[in-house]
Structure formats: C-alpha cells, structure tokens
Structure 1
Amino acid sequence: MALIGTFAPRKCGIATFSADIVEQLARFQSHVEVDVYALDNPDQPIRYEGVAGVIDERDRESFFETARIINESGVDAVWLQHEYGIFGGDDGQFVCDLVDRLAAPLILTPHTVLGEPSERQEAILSHLVNRASSIMVMSFHARDLLATRYGAPHEILTVIEHGAPDRPFGRQAEFKERLGLTGRDVLTTFGLLGPGKGLEYVIEALPAIVERHPAVLYRIVGATHPNLVAEQGETYREGLKARAAELGVADHIEWVDRFVDTEELLDQLEACDIYLTPYPNLQQSTSGTLSYAVALGKAVLATPYLHARELLRDGAGCLIEPESAQSIAREVNRLLDDRDALDALQRRAYAKGRETIWPRFAEGAAQLVEGAVAPAPRRAPVTATPGLTGVFAMSDATGMFQHAIGIVPDRRHGYCLDDNARALMLMNVAEGLKPTERARWTMRYASFVQHAWNEDARVFRNFMNFDRTWCEEEGSEDSNGRGLWALGATLENAPDADIRSWAQMWFDRTLPSLEEAGSPRAMAFTMLGCAARLRVDPDHGASRAVLERGGTFLAHLLDASRRPDWAWFEAVLGYDNPRLSQALIEAGMALGRPDFTAAGLETLDWIARQQTSAEGHFRPIGSDSFGHPRTHLPFDQQPLEAQAAIEAARAAFAATGEPRWIDHARIAWNWFHGANDRGVVLADLASGRCRDGINPRGANANCGAESILAFQLSHYSMIALEMASRGESGNADVGARNERTENTLAAS
C-alpha cells in the first residue's frame, strides 16, 4: 500500500503515528509492504529516509505528480492520514485534488472529525468520505459522527484503537533509578507544549499535593510546539515557570525541554506513577500518549475528552473536571494516600492496554488493507423477507428436526423442545403465510411444546427420538425456560385469538414450577417470557414476582463476578450471552426498575464490545470458549449469538432510543451475509436456510434448526427494530396489541 501523511522525523503526532504504522506492520505483518509519501513543509525542510516520495504541501502540482506516481506504482491500496492543517490550500483542500486522481482503493483515517465544521471543512471531509472504500478511525465517537454528519456508510467504517507498546508491568522503581528519581512520587505530562495542554491547572494543584506528599515531582516532558515558538518564542513555558515560582513549587517540577523519540518517551513514562492529561479541549478524539500510558499500566487522570472517555471506561483510569486544579489535587492525593487503590488502578489500566498493544493494532491494520482490496461482503437488505422452504423442509408431522447433514434433515437426532419452541415463536411473526398454512404449522409446533410437558415431574422434557419416544423425563433448566418464553411470546404476538388463549393457559399452568430456575440463562429465558406476559397483562402478579426475583438474581451474579475488565455475570462466557442483559433490560422496563435497566445496558455494552472485532464486524463468542475463565475464543461461531445480539440490541433501543444499538444490530445482521471473520455467506434468502456457523476453515455446511430459526427470527427482529427507529409498529413488534390484549383478558 501507499501511506500518505506527515512522517518522522517531523515533530507532530500524525508523523509519529505514520511511522508507527510502518514499523509495526513490518514487525508483525510483514506481508504488507508500505510505500511512504511524506508531506513536507518547505519552511521547515526535513531530510527523510526510506520514503517513496515527498509532497510539497504548498504546491498543488506536487499533489498531482504524487497521484500519478502512486498510480504507476501499482499499489493495491492507498492509506491517507487526514488532518486539515497538513495539506495545502484553504483548510487543506489540495487533498481533494490528490484523492480524485488515485486509482487504487482509498483507506481514509481522519484524525479530526468536527461536529461543527465550517462549510469548507465539511465539504472537504465529505468529499474524502465519498471517495473512500474504507474508513478507519480510532474512536467510536468519530465513527458515529462520520456516519451521522458526513454520511459515511456503516459498512465501510472501522474502529482500530490507537496502538500501544507491550512492556512488562510495574517497573517504576527500575526506571526511576535510571533517571535519578528514586524515592519520588512522579507525576508526568508529555507532549508539545501549548495552551491546549492544560498544564497550568496541574501547577495550580501542586501546592495542595505537595503539602500532603512532599516527595512529589511533576515532570513536564516535551518541547514547546514549533508553531508556538515561531509566533511567541518560549513565552508560554516561561509563564508556567513563573507561576510555579509564585506558588513555591518550582522545586517540585522538572522540565524535560526537548522532543523525545518513542523509545525515550516510553522510558520516561515507565518512571511515572500518575500520568496526567488535563486537556481543556474535550473534543480531542485521539491521544497517542494516553494510549501509551494506559498500556504501560500508569494511573491516568484525564479530563473527559473523547478519547479519554472511551479508553478509560470500565475503571481503566479516572476522569477529572476540566480546568479544575481542585479536582486534580483531590484525585492525586486520593491515590497517593491509598497505595492499594493506586496499584489497583494501574493494574486495571495495564489490563485494558492489552487490547491495544502493537501486535493487535498491526493485525487490525493489515486486515484493514486486505479488506479494502477484497470484494465487499454481500449484505442483504433487512426488508428482503426470507423464504420458509428451509423451515418446512426441516419439519414433519411431529415437529421440527434438530439437525441436518447439509440441507437434509438428520433423523438420527430426532427433535427437541428448544427448536420447536423457537419455531412456534417464528409462526407468531412470519410474513407471507396464508392463514390456513400458518395455522397448520403453528398447531404442529404448539402441539410439540404441549406434549413436552411432563405433568408428573412438573417440567418440560426436551429431547425426543425420531420414533416419538422421549429421551428423558426432565429437560434442562435452559430448555424449560425457553419453553415458557415461547408461551409468553405466543401470548403476546400470535395473530390467532384461540392460540393466544391456549398459550395463556399453558403459561399459567407451567410458570409455578419454572419460576425458581437456578441457571442464569434459564432464569433469563423465563424472565423474557414473563416480560412478554406483562406487556399483555401489566397486572399479572406472578410474572412481576419472577422479574423481581430474576433481576435481583442476575444483579447479584454481576456484582459477584465483576472485575475491572470483566463486566459480566459469570467467570466464563457461554452461549446466548446477550440474553442475560436483555432479560435485565426488559425486567427494568416492565417493573420501573432503572437499576435493572442500567445493569442490563452496561453488560450489553460490554458483551457487544467483546463481540465486535477491531475491524468493526460481528465476532460471536465461539463455543470453543466454553470452560475457559475470563477469556473468549473466536470459534466456533454460531448464529444463535447473532440473533441474541440483535434482539438484545432491540431491547436496549426500546429502553434508550440510542442509535448505536441499531448499529450493533445491523453489524450482527450483516454477520449472516458475509461481514464476518471468514467473509462467508451463511444465510440464503430464497430458502430461508442458514449454515450452522463459522469455524477456522470457513462455514459449517450443515443447516440445522437452531441456525435456520436464528436467521429467520433475526430478520423479524430487525424489521421491528427498523420500524421502531422510525416510530412505527407492526406485527413483528406490537401490532394490534390493544385488540389482542382485550381478547386475551376477555378469554381469561
């Protein structure tokens, strides 16, 4: 690929980032070769080494010539680092001349995405977006802003967090000794000095810090910004020194007045205890040194600028009030007073940093380039209704078969309650069926659910042989919870009043035996059934009681299992993971319990991040993860997880109205259609079938009931979600609910 941007040894953040891309790809992804085209300011000429070309940023013809050279070089892609101030013309508009002439696919990384740009700034970035085949940003805020303000298609947006070094944890003493700082409590700020750094607020905070911790030393590492030196000389630095002298803390500040390279910067950071980024500009979307400090396990105090809010979430650092010396002093003293708290914060930061170390960044960057030159995955429109041939081909007079070999039902494995409960839920919402056909298949699946009930044991059975003999007298707790959920969903959504009455009868009959489930998923499924019942009959006391108990149960599990980097209910990740969050969200909404809703949204946000790859596509928790504490593996990926993600996102959107949940649902939906780790299409719209998942070698060719139904139900949940986003309702959501509620209550 060709890489265009400022480049080392130029002293600016983008130059450092560009050099990092080249270095880390060469180190970890050497199959990606990079030709660098460095933007150069003729007023400050630099001697570059190892670059393919130099662009005079003031000369429009230089951009034309560079585009020609790049086209002639035959690169597979061009990766452009964009910032308004580094390209020539007003607001850097020469960049448009460049991209208009490039033949290879364009990867765009905008380092500044303005929420309130000038007319020309908006026109320039919109032009780049329209030309880009792929867009990579380092924050989710920038991604969302590109989509909403600049019209970037969701499918070309990728978030790759700023890369960071992978060094051992806890070497402060060693590096303090190297720098002659043994015995000092070291605070550090790094970067080109200028008013935008907020250093004056740290200096104002020092008297209160030094009073309680006399060993404190505040190290300000970095030269003054060259543009500021050109305009004002060292007036800003000298003003800071004068203020420190007035406050009597000059002896507690060390000025490292030079531009340090990356390796020296890392050594300087290793020697510090607390890293400060008190930036007053809260729109800053990227800070490379913030990423470095977190990865090195530093306790970070930062104002809530965009990058800090995202990187330091889940307790990886502390956010402080902007432009507040009091806030800085309070938090520094709190950490220095409590060394255990300081150590815990440093360890949380280090754990968070493992997500952004250079090998992971390089992997994401390589995949970004490869994805730009590969054919785009197929993405089916949500409105395209899947056929039902695949569903009915997997069914007979008894019910729906469990498994298939290819597309052919495998009778050896018979049937199960789980799949027939899902099939019944599908018949409630499926479109394009004649009433007689819907009734015929509804009867078969409902009859299976009904026959699965073991009156003697007061539980559902699950597995049935092909000869209609039961394999067991009691099914798993999870299958029992799913059976009750299907009854609640049928009571809520079935078009036929008689079927709704039947579902209510069996719901009330089975609930007393199932309401005390011990399995988290069984409880979640039961809660989802009860939430559906309450949407029909808000005064149903037994369902309200189940939601209260279940919500308390899940909240207790969350509190017991929570760790700084693990906001989840269990120490291991299983299947259908988002259902736990969905159950809490729906319980909170039904009961008016914002604490339940908040816990559900927090955990759903966490699991959604675990199930979103660095490239931005859906990566379900693989079944290989089962039994591995506090980690997850990518394979085997199964459609059930995508369905759960979509339906949990639907509940989250209902609770919050936040568009990001629609985005996440779309990502999970696109997983069926090729936006996945192997680029394989799993779903067939014509037949409505779906492959059984993704393994390391590609798609599992079998089309079992669970996979088919996950795809089918995902479609109708996506329809409901898209309609909800437009303020509409329909059969897949709440259509005719008032009439159905009247009929159900009358029947009862």
Structure 2
Amino acid sequence: MYPTETAKSFGIFVKNQVEALRGRGLHVDVIAVTNPRTDKVNVLTKYILWLLRTLIHCVTKGRNYDVVHAHYVFPTGMLGLWYKKWWKAKLVVTAHGGDIDRMANKSGRIRQWTTTILREADHVIAVGHKLAEQIRNEFGVPEENVSVINMGVNRRIFQPLDKEEARKRCGIGEHEIPILFVGNIIRQKGLIELVEAFSKLKKEYPSVSLYLIGAKKDNAFYHELIHRVKEAEINDVHILDAMQQKDVAVWMAAAEMFVLPSHLEGFGLVALEAMSCHTPVVGSRVGGLAYLLGDGAGVLVEPGNPDSLFEGMKKLLDDAALRKQLVQKGEARAQENDQERIIDQILQLYDRV
C-alpha cells in the first residue's frame, strides 16, 4: 500500500518510513499498490499489474539491492523472496497483523506460503508484542529472528495544539465535546458498537458529538452505518473523508477523546498519534492496543461490546484527573515510539542482516 493525491491515507505509514529512511541517506525504491479500491475487478487488475511490475524490476534491476523490505507477509513477502533467491538480497518482512490474523487463515495454501516467507526471511519485524508471539509460536520462527518494531509516530506532525484554537480550525462548536475516530470505515473497526455506545452517552452528555474520519472502504457497510444512525435518531454524528496527516493531527488535538474500538489491531498507530497530540484514548483490549494502552496509558474496553465501550467513554468524561494522567502517560508512550528512534532500530537491523 502507498498513498497518492486521491488516496491520501492509503499506506501512509509505509511512505512515512520510506521518507525517513531516505532522510538518513539510504537509496530507497518503492514498488507498491496505490489503488485502494476493493471491488473484484480492481483487486485482480491492481495485483496482477503489481506482480508483473515487480517481476520485471527483479529481473532487470534486482542485483542492485542490499536489502528488500516487504510490508505485509503475503503476498508481498513472496515477491521479496524472488530478490533473495535470485540475487542474494537480504529480506526483511514487516508483519502488520491482518496478514497473520486474517490473510494466513484464508486457506491452507496461503498459510503454508505465509509460513515459508516468515521462516525464509532474514528477519521478521512485528509491529506489536502479541503479533511477535504469534509469529514465534504459530509459525515456528526462531526468537532471534523476530523483532518488535512499530511504525513510529511523526512528532513533527502529531503534536499538541491549543484545544480552543484547534476546534476553531476544525469548525467544532464552542460548546461541543468532540469524540474522534480515525480509520477505515469498515466493520472490523468496531464502528457499529461505537455508534451504539455514543447513542447511550448522548443521553447523559447532550453536548457530545462524534466525528468519524476515514476512507469508505466498504460501501455496503457505510450505508448500513448511516442507516443505524438514522434509525436510532442519533444527532451529531459526522462522517468525514480521509484527509492528509497534518489535518488529521489538528482534529486529534481538538478532540476531547480518541476512540479506537477495533475487533483486531496489530499495533494501533493511530491511537499513538492521538496520544502524541495529548488526547486521551479509549481502545479495545486487542493485539498491540492492549500493550499500547496498558499500564494506565489509556482506557481499555472489551472488543465488540458497546456497553463496555460506553462505560470506558463515560469514565473518561467523568474524571478530569484521569484525563490528565492519560495525557502524561500518552506523552511518555509517544516519546518511546518517536519515528526517529524507530528508524534507528531499523537501520541497526539492516546492518545486522
């Protein structure tokens, strides 16, 4: 995945890493899918073209590379193996979560391919601790061949702003209490539960408003979500298109809380970005989010459970001292996961392989 002017958020975390590596003096070439559409014709077309482009590139220029870094295990890692087998390039694979939790379970053949890629790679990066455990335990990858390195937060973009000023820039009303979600508008992000929990919260806090920012990756689900909102007669739910990171950062700084009720999440980088903007986070107890928000850094709720989500959001609104604590702990998490520190770890890894 890689973003374009028309699909600004599509794989933006990969582009951020590429630009950071280039900033350290590395020569980085990118072969990626830039079309975010998920209908059958587009999926077949874009992946066939990507495969052919990679094959031609590997044959004509493959000998030029010291390291091939594949994001997502399958199918990207399989293409990365061409460079390793034909030209002896070192292969580093970053697993993001969906490639292990969903893609590897689509069929026995894909699971076998996933296992082959993980075992033959020179090193595997997992974006979260639970994901690393899965890779070691379920796929038999030696512990020394797996590192936990997330994508890192760009603190030059995601930084705290004066809330009043940020809300003016976003057009948020003076008396609103804005709650924010950022991510793809898909079922797996827990948006049905979020709307249900918000409806309940609205009865106790009439001033709350809900903003959902993201790409409408599943048109049928988007219309289902809209129908749920209308059917329940919930006011103040706003769905905005995906936007550039610098604009997302302003919305994060403006929000009273950030909510990420995902059913699964490899790391939850978007939650870390909110923490970097000094906005407290409510998130599901899944995958990397459980680690990121653990030890009092966020409010953890049960996935797929609107009542638990409501309680978590209410707890945060009711407790000013808790909000202050989460901002402080969130700042510490953001410092630990600053993109520049993450790039140092990746460069050390490249040297090691």
Q: TM-score, normalised by structure 2?
A: 0.86
d(CA) in 2 for partners of 1:173, 1:163: 27
1:144 aligns with 2:138: no
1:174 aligns with 2:193: no
Q: Is the 2:128–2:267 Cα contact (8 Å) retained in structure 1? A: yes
Q: Structure 1 96/165 Cα, relative in aligned 2: closer, same or farther at 3 Å?
A: closer
User: For each residue in 1:122-174, what CA deviation from the matched residue of structure 2 results, as whole angstroms up to 9, or x when unmatched?
Assistant: 21122212331121111122222222222222222211123113244463222
1:222 aligns with 2:211: no
Q: How many residues align?
A: 338
Residue 43 of structure 1 and its aligned partner are, at CA, apart by 8.1
Equivalent residue, structure 1, for 2:144: 155
d(CA) in 1 for partners of 2:10, 2:154: 17
1:77 corresponds, among 67, 85, 106, to: 67
Q: Structure 1 244/61 Cα, relative in aligned 2: closer, same or farther at 3 Å?
A: closer
Residue 320 of structure 1 and its aligned partner are, at CA, apart by 0.8
Equivalent residue, structure 1, for 2:114: 125
d(CA) in 2 for partners of 1:334, 1:134: 42
Residue identity in the other structure for 1:324: N
Residue identity in the other structure for 1:188: L
Aligned 1:360-509 pairs, distance under 5 A? 360-372=341-353
1:209 corresponds, among 201, 212, 221, to: 201
d(CA) in 2 for partners of 1:292, 1:180: 21
RMSD: 2.7
Q: Is the 1:107–1:135 Cα contact (8 Å) retained in structure 2? A: yes
Equivalent residue, structure 1, for 2:41: none
Residue 26 of structure 1 and its aligned partner are, at CA, apart by 3.3
d(CA) in 2 for partners of 1:146, 1:7: 25
Q: Is the 1:163–1:357 Cα contact (8 Å) retained in structure 2? A: yes
User: For each residue in 1:614-642, what CA deviation from the matched residue of structure 2 results, as whole angstroms up to 9, or x when unmatched?
Assistant: xxxxxxxxxxxxxxxxxxxxxxxxxxxxx
d(CA) in 2 for partners of 1:61, 1:352: 41
User: For each residue in 1:4-31, what CA deviation from the matched residue of structure 2 results, as whole angstroms up to 9, or x when unmatched?
Assistant: xx3222849772122011122234xx22
Residue 198 of structure 1 and its aligned partner are, at CA, apart by 1.4
d(CA) in 1 for partners of 2:28, 2:343: 13
Q: Is the 2:183–2:213 Cα contact (8 Å) retained in structure 1? A: yes
Equivalent residue, structure 2, for 1:474: none
Over the matched positions of the two proteins, sequence identity in percent amounts to 20
Residue 262 of structure 1 and its aligned partner are, at CA, apart by 1.8
Aligned 1:516-665 pairs, distance under 5 A? none
Q: Is the 1:277–1:303 Cα contact (8 Å) retained in structure 2? A: yes
The structure whose Rg is larger is 1
Q: Structure 1 56/218 Cα, relative in aligned 2: closer, same or farther at 3 Å?
A: closer
Equivalent residue, structure 1, for 2:14: 18
Equivalent residue, structure 2, for 1:273: 256
Q: Structure 1 184/69 Cα, relative in aligned 2: closer, same or farther at 3 Å?
A: farther
Residue identity in the other structure for 2:3: A
Residue identity in the other structure for 1:65: I
Q: Is the 1:299–1:342 Cα contact (8 Å) retained in structure 2? A: yes
d(CA) in 1 for partners of 2:154, 2:274: 9
Residue 208 of structure 1 and its aligned partner are, at CA, apart by 2.7
1:57 corresponds, among 24, 47, 54, to: 47
1:109 aligns with 2:94: yes
d(CA) in 1 for partners of 2:221, 2:178: 23
Equivalent residue, structure 1, for 2:227: 242
d(CA) in 1 for partners of 2:56, 2:142: 30
Residue 334 of structure 1 and its aligned partner are, at CA, apart by 1.9
Q: Structure 1 318/62 Cα, relative in aligned 2: closer, same or farther at 3 Å?
A: same
Residue identity in the other structure for 2:100: V
d(CA) in 2 for partners of 1:370, 1:134: 12
Equivalent residue, structure 2, for 1:359: 340
Aligned 1:736-747 pairs, distance under 5 A? none
d(CA) in 2 for partners of 1:161, 1:23: 16
User: For each residue in 1:229-254, what CA deviation from the matched residue of structure 2 results, as whole angstroms up to 9, or x when unmatched?
Assistant: 3xxxxx4333323322333322x212
d(CA) in 1 for partners of 2:95, 2:316: 36
d(CA) in 1 for partners of 2:110, 2:7: 24
Q: Structure 1 94/362 Cα, relative in aligned 2: closer, same or farther at 3 Å?
A: closer
User: For each residue in 1:35-61, what CA deviation from the matched residue of structure 2 results, as whole angstroms up to 9, or x when unmatched?
Assistant: 2122356989xxxxxxxxxx9631554
d(CA) in 2 for partners of 1:62, 1:103: 20
Q: Structure 1 14/42 Cα, relative in aligned 2: closer, same or farther at 3 Å?
A: closer
Q: Partner of 1:315: helix, strand, or coil?
A: coil
Q: Is the 1:162–1:291 Cα contact (8 Å) retained in structure 2? A: no
Q: Is the 1:32–1:366 Cα contact (8 Å) retained in structure 2? A: no
1:100 aligns with 2:96: no
Q: Is the 2:214–2:242 Cα contact (8 Å) retained in structure 1? A: yes
Q: Is the 2:93–2:124 Cα contact (8 Å) retained in structure 1? A: yes
Q: Partner of 2:212: helix, strand, or coil?
A: strand
Q: Greater relative contact order (Cα 8 A, min sep 6): structure 1 or 2?
A: 2
Residue 220 of structure 1 and its aligned partner are, at CA, apart by 0.8
Equivalent residue, structure 1, for 2:42: none
Equivalent residue, structure 1, for 2:321: 340
Q: Is the 1:295–1:356 Cα contact (8 Å) retained in structure 2? A: no
Equivalent residue, structure 1, for 2:299: 318
Q: Partner of 1:145: helix, strand, or coil?
A: helix
d(CA) in 2 for partners of 1:304, 1:222: 22
1:188 corresponds, among 144, 160, 180, to: 180
Q: Partner of 2:239: helix, strand, or coil?
A: strand
d(CA) in 2 for partners of 1:267, 1:63: 37
d(CA) in 2 for partners of 1:76, 1:94: 15
Residue 275 of structure 1 and its aligned partner are, at CA, apart by 0.9
Structure 1 residues not aligned, in runs of 5+ = 1-5, 45-54, 230-234, 373-748
Q: Structure 1 325/362 Cα, relative in aligned 2: closer, same or farther at 3 Å?
A: same
d(CA) in 1 for partners of 2:15, 2:36: 20
1:261 aligns with 2:257: no
User: For each residue in 1:62-118, what CA deviation from the matched residue of structure 2 results, as whole angstroms up to 9, or x when unmatched?
Assistant: 44322223423x22211111254x65xxxx966655653342111111222249733
d(CA) in 2 for partners of 1:102, 1:56: 26
Q: Partner of 2:88: helix, strand, or coil?
A: coil
Structure 2 residues not aligned, in runs of 5+ = 39-44
d(CA) in 2 for partners of 1:133, 1:205: 45
d(CA) in 1 for partners of 2:8, 2:84: 23
